[in-house]
Structure 1
Amino acid sequence: MMKSVFFTITFVLFLSLPTLSLSQTCNKDDEKVLFKIKKAFGNPYHLASWQKTDDCCQWYCVECDANSGRIIALTIFSGNISGQIPVEVGDLPYLQTLVLRKLTNLTGEIPSAIAKLTHLTSLRLSWTNLSGPVPSFLSKLTNLDFLDLSFNDLTGSIPPELATLTKLNDLHLDRNKLTGPIPESFGKFTGNVPNLYLSHNQLTGSVPKSLGYLNFTTIDFSRNKLTGDFSMFFGTHKTIQYADFSRNKFAFNLSEVVFPASLTWLDFNHNKIYGSLPATLTELNFQNLNVSYNRMCGQIPQGGNLQTFDNMSYFHNRCLCGSPLPACT
């Protein structure tokens, strides 16, 4: 009798508890926006899981916040998708991550609707056929810590307004068709000092001296048409680790440049740099070193790991000599 009463009370209490969902239900407003995005892309097979029969938090390429059910990430990668970026993307107000990557039939310009996504921390529009300028309105995305617009067909100059993104850790504008100079404002990042990837463009002019006031970790300016001097990135108190200035038109005397102990990757092949290699290079632990195709002279400093690189790292200079090149005479 006591057992029967116990189970009856337990059952009644169980029925009185609120129903608990095993997973957060997708917000219906966000679901409507996703269907509009799918339609704008021509209902591709890549988004076949986007069906009303399933909760949109379970759809492929979509991530929801566990508590609110709002869409916080849209990651569409390596799909057979054609068309332009739908303006409806800007109607996902809680989006933190937007990735449209390796979509080679994605064309057109970056829509201004993206500026509405003020919660974005990561924006990656890369390996597509996007064209037009790098929009200055991206500076409105003040929470961005990662911006990648690489491997596109973007043209025009780099907007100086990007330097107002105080949380930015990485800026990838490489592998485009950008022209003009590196903005002077890039020496005035007021928050984080981002890793700068500007390689494989058509940038011209000298590197603004103001960039020397900051302490960068990674710089890749390779394969442009830049001139002048890049030594402002180095010095005793700098902590730069990776520096690639190869295949430009830099021309200055390297002899007195002081390289910091943090430097592990240095490449400035195919420039017009002259002078000698500083002896202090022997104190560094290089993973990569390439100074070939310049106008330097003198003996390669002996010691450290400079002789672990073969002659291809040093050849085609005016009169460099010593191991691994032929002996000085």
Structure 2
Amino acid sequence: MGAVFAIPKLLLALVVFYTTMLSFATIGLAATAKLHSDEVEILKKIGKKLGKKDWDFGIDPCSGEGNWQRLGERKGFESNVTCDCTFNGNSSCHVVKIDICRAMKAQNLSSTLPPEFSKLPYLKQLDLSRNYLTGSIPPQWATMHLVELSLMGNSLSGPFPTVLTWITTLKNLSIEVNRFSGPIPPEIGKLINLQKLILSSNAFTGELPIELAKLTNLTDMRVSDNNFSGKIPDFIGNWTQIKKLHMGGCFLEGPIPSSISALRSLSDLRITDLKGQRSTFPPLSNMESMKTLILRKCQIYGEIPGYIGYMEKLKILDLSFNDLTGEIPMTFVQLADVDLIYLTGNRLTGSIPGWLLGRNKNADVSYNNFTWESSSPAECPRGSVNLVESYSAEDKLSRIHPCLKRNFPCPAANNERHYLLHINCGGKEASVNGTKYEADREQRGASMFYLGQNWAFSSTGNFMDNDVEADIYIETNTSAFSNISVPDSELYTTARASPLSLTYYGLCLMNGNYTVKLHFAEIIFTNDRSFNSLGKRIFNVYMQDKLVLENFNIEDEAGGAGKPLIKSFTAAVTSGTLKIHFYWAGKGTTGIPDRGEYGPLISAISVDPNFEPPSDGDNKDHLIIVVVAAVVLLGLLALCVMWRKGWMGDNGSANKGMKHFFYP
């Protein structure tokens, strides 16, 4: 019996032995395989034109040694040349992938694109993102057989690069954050293999061409932050495989077409700031994979459909700044696992559900028309739920805090009101030229209400796609300052940031006209020729609900990053409250220097009266008058009592005298 089992064991041992020997032989061949000499020469030319100084040609580029394979500390910091060494029986290598992303500062690529990339016949993936490459895309690239190409975060310019439409093998294409302009050409329809197309943050114009309907393999389409015209086309219904669709701040008009109902694989839908006519809620009832649903300021009116509450995979819901009415659907009680709910800036009514008030995850229902009930909160919570101005103006109950009421009314008497306000936004208390700026160090901001001594702020939103556990709402300077004194620099070292909406309130101010100064400085982007200088921060500013700055770009207005800028306005306070609202309308870059860097940024706020405020002496005189009047009144009262008691003589004669005094 033992001999019977001995033969299979022997065969197994022989198989293992020969397999092991074959593996060692293959590894040995691969170890001796080198990059084809022609491609080595091509890499030398590419490296010279790019200014790539760390490529050491004393080492074979396919060896995986030296600087040919470098992984950064963070995602997107790569400098790799990847080879396939299985050619000619594992004896020859060819370059199949090149990543030069976010190059080291000393090697920041600021050249034009080398045509020689087209001479690497086996190159399939090319990533040159987050550099400072200029010019256009060489026509020689039309012969390439790329599958993936990323030029995100550069300074390439000109019309849409039609040369790319000849690379019909492309599956993933990103030219996000460049300076391309003009219309999308109809030739885009030739790229029928595309699965990912990212055109965001350029200056493209015109309507989305009908030829995009041919791209039926798309799973990821992003066109945010452009200057398109026309309506969202019906042909988006052709993209039945799409999972991610971003159309934010790109000047497209509504309504969202009903054909969107065919996109049943959607998991990430972001459409914001639409122009044009109002519309009812789009048909999304079949979106069972939805994780991120953002329909912000899309001119949507009517009630929120109850089926939203049954989206089991939903994590982020943003329906803010529409014209939604009715109550929060009862089905929303099912959204316990949703991390972020934003219903800000609508006309929702009814009572705020108890499950929402008790959430330990972020929810913002500020600026609505809810009805206050005895079980409703009497003051604004400070934590994960924001209720600022959430109750109807018709609720005049004195028992609830003014922050809950529309327009944040002041309950103080006129003689208890203020006439000065100075805030160092995001910073510590500071004294600048004799003026004290109050500290503003609250770290939270997703759905946050903060109440200071005579001011407050309401912050809404989270920074998307930044892959961090906790968002940062206070930015610290990373750009070199210029044209600024040392005392003033205290106001610009930090700033409060917002990914969506930020409102500062001046509370219980005396009625009258004020000079409001908004202090800005771009402290994240830089002035050098690196990808850090390519960011654009664009937002709107409202004062007393009136638009005063539209598509405002701090850096452009100031003439560069790190330069202070003060914008002055006259604001009329008529009911004791000053309201300054900062809003991100989907414009500007969102991925420079990192994902999640965008939205309003404010360094400091100063509010000074345009009228002569009451002096301390005036207050003392007023107090003296009040005291004297009280003493006189008490004296008269004492005399009256004494007279009634007869302590001042005969009552009869006294009565006659008093009667003669009032009735002569």
Same fold? TM cut 0.5 = yes
User: Rg: which structure is higher?
Assistant: 2
Aligned to 2:33: 22
Q: 1:320 to 1:189 in 2, by over 3 A?
A: farther
Q: CA deviation at 1:118?
A: 1.7
Aligned to 1:267: 318
Indicate conservation of the 8 Å contact 2:207/2:229, yes or no.
yes
Whole-angstrom CA distance in 2 between matches of 1:295 and 1:19: 68
Question: What count of residue pairs does the alignment treat as equivalent?
Answer: 302
Aligned to 1:100: 151
1:152 to 202, 221, 229: 202
Q: Secondary structure at the match of 1:101?
A: coil
Whole-angstrom CA distance in 2 between matches of 1:56 and 1:135: 38
One-letter amino acid matched to 2:189: S
Aligned to 1:8: none
One-letter amino acid matched to 1:83: G
Aligned to 2:159: 109
One-letter amino acid matched to 1:223: D
Indicate conservation of the 8 Å contact 2:319/2:342, yes or no.
yes
One-letter amino acid matched to 1:99: S
Whole-angstrom CA distance in 1 between matches of 2:80 and 2:159: 22
Indicate conservation of the 8 Å contact 1:264/1:288, yes or no.
yes
Indicate conservation of the 8 Å contact 2:127/2:149, yes or no.
yes
Q: 1:310 to 1:29 in 2, by over 3 A?
A: closer
Indicate conservation of the 8 Å contact 1:73/1:97, yes or no.
yes
**CA deviation profile, 1:294-323 (whole Å, cap 9, x unmatched):** 111111222268744667x11211335545
One-letter amino acid matched to 1:298: G
Whole-angstrom CA distance in 2 between matches of 1:38 and 1:267: 46
Aligned to 1:81: 133
Whole-angstrom CA distance in 2 between matches of 1:122 and 1:91: 17
Q: In the alignment, is residue 134 of structure 1 matched against residue 184 of structure 2?
A: yes
Whole-angstrom CA distance in 1 between matches of 2:362 and 2:159: 45
**CA deviation profile, 1:268-301 (whole Å, cap 9, x unmatched):** 1111111111011011121111111111111122
Q: Secondary structure at the match of 1:174?
A: coil
Q: 1:264 to 1:182 in 2, by over 3 A?
A: same
Aligned to 2:272: 222
**CA deviation profile, 1:44-98 (whole Å, cap 9, x unmatched):** 42x45689988787696755554462111221122232211222222212x1111
Q: CA deviation at 1:261?
A: 2.9
Indicate conservation of the 8 Å contact 1:143/1:165, yes or no.
yes
Unaligned runs of 5+ in 1: 1-17
Q: 1:79 to 1:295 in 2, by over 3 A?
A: same
Indicate conservation of the 8 Å contact 1:199/1:222, yes or no.
yes
Whole-angstrom CA distance in 1 between matches of 2:270 and 2:204: 18
Q: Secondary structure at the match of 2:283?
A: helix
2:220 to 166, 170, 195: 170
One-letter amino acid matched to 1:251: Y
Q: In the alignment, is residue 195 of structure 1 matched against residue 244 of structure 2?
A: yes
2:260 to 211, 215, 237: 211
Mean alpha-carbon deviation: is it higher for 110-119 or for 48-57?
A: 48-57
Mean alpha-carbon deviation: is it higher for 208-217 or for 223-232?
A: 223-232
Q: CA deviation at 1:101?
A: 1.7
Whole-angstrom CA distance in 1 between matches of 2:319 and 2:346: 8
Whole-angstrom CA distance in 2 between matches of 1:229 and 1:26: 63
Whole-angstrom CA distance in 2 between matches of 1:30 and 1:257: 63
**CA deviation profile, 1:119-141 (whole Å, cap 9, x unmatched):** 21211111111112233322322
Q: CA deviation at 1:164?
A: 2.6
Q: CA deviation at 1:207?
A: 0.8
Indicate conservation of the 8 Å contact 2:213/2:239, yes or no.
yes
2:236 to 186, 194, 198: 186
Indicate conservation of the 8 Å contact 1:150/1:172, yes or no.
yes
Q: 1:203 to 1:186 in 2, by over 3 A?
A: same
Identity %: 24
Q: Secondary structure at the match of 1:297?
A: coil
Q: 1:30 to 1:293 in 2, by over 3 A?
A: farther
Indicate conservation of the 8 Å contact 2:136/2:158, yes or no.
yes
Q: 1:327 to 1:76 in 2, by over 3 A?
A: closer
Whole-angstrom CA distance in 1 between matches of 2:189 and 2:326: 41
Whole-angstrom CA distance in 1 between matches of 2:347 and 2:222: 31
Q: Secondary structure at the match of 1:258?
A: helix
Whole-angstrom CA distance in 2 between matches of 1:301 and 1:221: 27
Unaligned runs of 5+ in 2: 1-28, 63-67, 70-78, 88-93, 95-121, 378-384, 396-664
Q: 1:177 to 1:19 in 2, by over 3 A?
A: closer
Q: CA deviation at 1:162?
A: 2.4
Give matches, 1:65-80, under 5 Å. 65-67=84-86, 69=94, 70-80=122-132
Q: 1:208 to 1:30 in 2, by over 3 A?
A: farther
Q: 1:49 to 1:168 in 2, by over 3 A?
A: farther
**CA deviation profile, 1:17-41 (whole Å, cap 9, x unmatched):** x998523427659949x95x889xx
One-letter amino acid matched to 2:151: L
Whole-angstrom CA distance in 2 between matches of 1:61 and 1:163: 36
Indicate conservation of the 8 Å contact 1:296/1:320, yes or no.
no
Q: CA deviation at 1:230?
A: 3.1
Q: In the alignment, is residue 295 of structure 1 matched against residue 347 of structure 2?
A: yes
Whole-angstrom CA distance in 2 between matches of 1:286 and 1:25: 54
Q: 1:54 to 1:29 in 2, by over 3 A?
A: closer
Whole-angstrom CA distance in 2 between matches of 1:62 and 1:135: 33
Q: 1:196 to 1:306 in 2, by over 3 A?
A: farther
